[in-house]
Structure 1
């Protein structure tokens, strides 16, 4: 009896975490560059009830009797599929078509990565800096903050598909100015550590960041004037939510049933 109580309780806790993941997906349905997550389950330990026959020889049974002790969450996996493109016409809005990530340097000097290409131009003493909404500078392909000379007018700056920042020459033809927006990839992007605000940090599970300029991986393409929307499918998430709710109710029903059976056993003495 007690075994069923704990097994059903573990299922309820696992499904609660599953609902938390689904709720987070739905909450970020409009977050730029957000990647949907899914909870993965695994079974807990199994207890042997009978492994040998009850005959005098006590031989091993061809099929032993084992009962499971519930389930738990084994991982919460991010799915890095391409989100749809939304046109913004912003000169500092960029969409990554591929597996690349932008590199960001925070105030502590740590490098974070993101798919959110909603950037801005900030003026400081050194020039015009391409940065995030929090003011963190975007890094170039050389790993340095992108700082433009004051002579460049922000409305005339363009970026080609390879990430080269261009400015019109005397003939009004866009020419690269020698600065390229950095794009980086990871052997296992699902292993990146989430630090909030759409930022991701390198970890042992993700592997070391690979600069696309090194030519080891296939290069991504940049699209100026577009942003990558979230890849959350609302219909799929709602179906998953209903499934998780029903599973939670079933585990709750199992606890109620076990409690009723224990009550009946206690009433046998009356």
Structure 2
């Protein structure tokens, strides 16, 4: 009887984590480049009540008697489905059409990855530096911050589909500047460590970043200027998932109530 109490309690704990994940998705429905996360569950160990044996007539029983001990969260998986394209008035708003990630350099000197292409030029020591919303420098294909000298009018800069910065010549035709915004892919993007501000960090599970500019074996992503990638959260789906999680939580709580009532009945037998 006590086993049923703990089993139902694991279900309530698992559904609470599930609801936390759903709430996090809904809170980021307007976050640019945010990717939906989903909970995955697995059963706990099984306890053997009776092994394979024979009946009273000596016949072999085909199966043993085992009872499960509940459920727990096994993982929270990120769904890297592309979000909707949102038009932007900014000349430094970029959207990735494909599996690539932008790269930025953190304050600690490490490289982090993001799908949020809401960039802007900011003043730096040597000129104008392309940075994200938090001022972290955006990296080029060589792993260096993109810094232009002050002779360039940044509002005239365009970016081609392969991420190369272009500047108009005397005839106002865009010409490549030899600088490309870096795009990286991962063999297992679900293995990336999730950080704040829509940033990701590589891990042993994700594998090493694959530079699209130097690797010919991967499908190239495209950079679309003037658009941002919106969140891929589907509000209707999340609301349905919330109802399911709430009902599951309620069922587990009722299982605890039923177990408590049965224990109470057992205690009343001695009276």
Q: Common fold, TM-score beyond 0.5?
A: yes
3-state SS, counterpart of residue 196 of structure 1? coil
Residue 113 of structure 1 is matched in structure 2 by 113
The alignment's TM-score, normalised by the length of structure 2, stands at 0.97
CA contact (8 A) 1:93 1:118 kept: yes
Shift in Å, 1:143: 0.8
CA contact (8 A) 1:52 1:59 kept: no
Whole-Å separation in 1 of the counterparts to 2:139 and 2:52: 65
Deviations 1:152-204 (CA, angstroms, capped at 9, x unpaired):
10110000101000000011100011100000000010110012111100001
Q: CA RMSD in A?
A: 1.2
Whole-Å separation in 2 of the counterparts to 1:195 and 1:36: 14
Taking a change above 3 Å as real, the CA distance of residues 3 and 58 of structure 1, as seen in their structure-2 partners, is farther
CA contact (8 A) 2:55 2:61 kept: no
Residue 243 of structure 2 is matched in structure 1 by 242
Whole-Å separation in 2 of the counterparts to 1:140 and 1:239: 42
Map 1:205-220 → 2, pairs under 5 A:
205-213=205-213, 214-220=215-221
List gaps (5 residues or longer) in structure 1.
none
Residue 96 of structure 2 is matched in structure 1 by 96
Map 1:169-180 → 2, pairs under 5 A:
169-180=169-180
Shift in Å, 1:55: 3.9
**Residue 262 of structure 2 corresponds to residue 261 of structure 1:** yes
Residue 142 of structure 1 is matched in structure 2 by 142
Residue 82 of structure 1 is matched in structure 2 by 82
Whole-Å separation in 2 of the counterparts to 1:43 and 1:55: 30
Residue 24 of structure 1 is matched in structure 2 by 24
Deviations 1:100-142 (CA, angstroms, capped at 9, x unpaired):
0000001111100000000110112201100011111000011
Whole-Å separation in 2 of the counterparts to 1:236 and 1:59: 51
3-state SS, counterpart of residue 3 of structure 2? helix
Shift in Å, 1:62: 0.6
3-state SS, counterpart of residue 151 of structure 2? coil
Residue 167 of structure 2 is matched in structure 1 by 167
Shift in Å, 1:149: 1.5
Whole-Å separation in 1 of the counterparts to 2:42 and 2:57: 36
Whole-Å separation in 2 of the counterparts to 1:30 and 1:65: 50
Shift in Å, 1:56: 6.5
| Equivalent residues, number | 270
Whole-Å separation in 2 of the counterparts to 1:53 and 1:87: 69
CA contact (8 A) 2:93 2:225 kept: yes
Whole-Å separation in 1 of the counterparts to 2:59 and 2:227: 69
CA contact (8 A) 2:54 2:60 kept: no
List gaps (5 residues or longer) in structure 2.
none
Shift in Å, 1:264: 0.4
3-state SS, counterpart of residue 20 of structure 1? helix
More off after superposition, 46-55 vs 106-115: 46-55
Whole-Å separation in 2 of the counterparts to 1:252 and 1:41: 18
3-state SS, counterpart of residue 62 of structure 1? coil
Taking a change above 3 Å as real, the CA distance of residues 59 and 206 of structure 1, as seen in their structure-2 partners, is farther
CA contact (8 A) 2:49 2:67 kept: yes
Whole-Å separation in 1 of the counterparts to 2:137 and 2:57: 75
CA contact (8 A) 1:37 1:77 kept: yes
The alignment's TM-score, normalised by the length of structure 1, stands at 0.98
